[in-house]
A and B are shown apart, each in its own frame.
Chain A
């Protein structure tokens, strides 16, 4: 039986329960480290504490669910534990959420931001908002802190090498970097300080940065741009959709945080461009981080 299974998978190491538990525990420890590293800047951002209750509950609900969906797909492309099936990816995402929520709840309590007098929905909101970057960090821990070697790793690289996979990674990268900046009031303030010319210049700079990064470091599993892809084609196939993704992610994050409620169209556009800069850099370097 054991022999048959070993032959079937060709990976004996995962069949020994004691060993695999140990491996998973190591992955979990890395996930905790990842959650702390990625979550800490936002755990110590003042706006994040008030967002937990200032955010519209329906938008928060949608945000929790979409973060979960992103985690499941990220697990496909290399979560904190090698996976083979969708069920495993869901389990992986749940594990990452467990780590993210635990880290957020503990950190918020230790930092004295949650008190026994706080109403339940406020505590839940704070933890829910904070657990987004923390669970993201938990999911990315293997890539960032693990060995990242072996054939499974290559398999995952191959999975994300498709065009849809590339675009998804761009979206995840944009979401992560935009989320790190979006809660602060500075985004709105910068949007107000910038004139239309500044905004146009920032769009141009974002596009150039995105293009340069995609061309040099951003493509999955390749050191250089794929064969047959000249500057023009990379621009058309990756930079343009990349910036579009960055814009949409910016709009979504701003909307979630209620930053653009009641704002005029040009103010919304200016805020999107401001947040679009970190988002497009995030999209471009997604391959390095994710």
Chain B
């Protein structure tokens, strides 16, 4: 007891503040990572869906932005994404992109280039496959 009082007496206030901040940070990290460890099944497969975004005209055609959203816990690397423009049943054009990483319960963004204007056509986007990081 006397020992701890001695520390309190000669420890600068700033040290208590820095130590306190460190403790809060450390506990926050441990709680987040610990919760992740307990709740996120890392062996579960990644479930990636593609949300189409804005279309912009470029010098050579059109670029369509997309968001790859991973709704499952498993991480996905090298996610291959395919976009098709359909006119009825006929495929007008196919384009693809490779997204480096879509973390579990996370998202990544990218764009697909097309020569035809996707605005007047049906757009189908889907992930083709991924690699476990």
A residues apposed to B, CB below 8 Å: 5, 9, 14-15, 17, 20-21, 23-25, 28, 50, 53-54, 56-58, 60-61, 64-65, 68, 81, 85, 87-88, 90-99, 101-102, 117-122, 124-125, 127-128, 131
Contact = CB atoms under 8 A, between A and B. Distances in A.
Nearest to B105: A119
B26 A94 contact: yes
Given A21-B14, A121-B36, 4 more contacts: A60-B33, A97-B22, A98-B22, A121-B32
Contacts of B3: 85, 87
Q: Is the interface of A mostly helix, strand, loop or mixed?
A: helix
A15 B9 CA distance: 8
B19 A58 contact: no
Contacts of B29: 64, 101, 124, 127-128, 131
B44 interface: no
Contacts, number: 122
Interface residues of B, number: 38
Count chain A CB atoms within 10 A of each CB in B13, B20, B36 and give the residue with the most.
B36
A122 B11 CA distance: 36
B103 to A, nearest CB: 5
Instruction: Give me the 5 closest cross-chain CB pairs, A-B, nearest first.
Output: A98-B22, A57-B37, A94-B22, A124-B32, A121-B36
Contact of A88 (B11, B32, B103, B105): B11
B26 A101 contact: yes
Nearest to B67: A117
Nearest to B70: A119
B34 interface: yes
9 contacts: A57-B36, A57-B37, A64-B26, A95-B18, A97-B22, A98-B18, A101-B25, A102-B21, A120-B32
Interface of B: 3-4, 7, 9-16, 18-23, 25-26, 28-30, 32-37, 40, 42, 75, 101, 103-107, 133
A117 B36 contact: no
A54 B78 CA distance: 13
A61 B37 contact: yes
A60 B105 CA distance: 19
A98 B25 contact: yes
Contacts of A17: 12-13
B36 to A, nearest CB: 4
A57 B106 contact: no
A9 B6 CA distance: 10
A148 to B, nearest CB: 20
Contact of A50 (B12, B15, B101, B104): B101
Point out which of A56, A124, A131 has the most chain B C-beta atoms below 10 A from its C-beta: A124
A121 B40 CA distance: 10
Given A28-B18, A94-B23, A95-B22, A121 B10 contact: no
A79 to B, nearest CB: 11
Contacts of B15: 24, 81, 91, 95
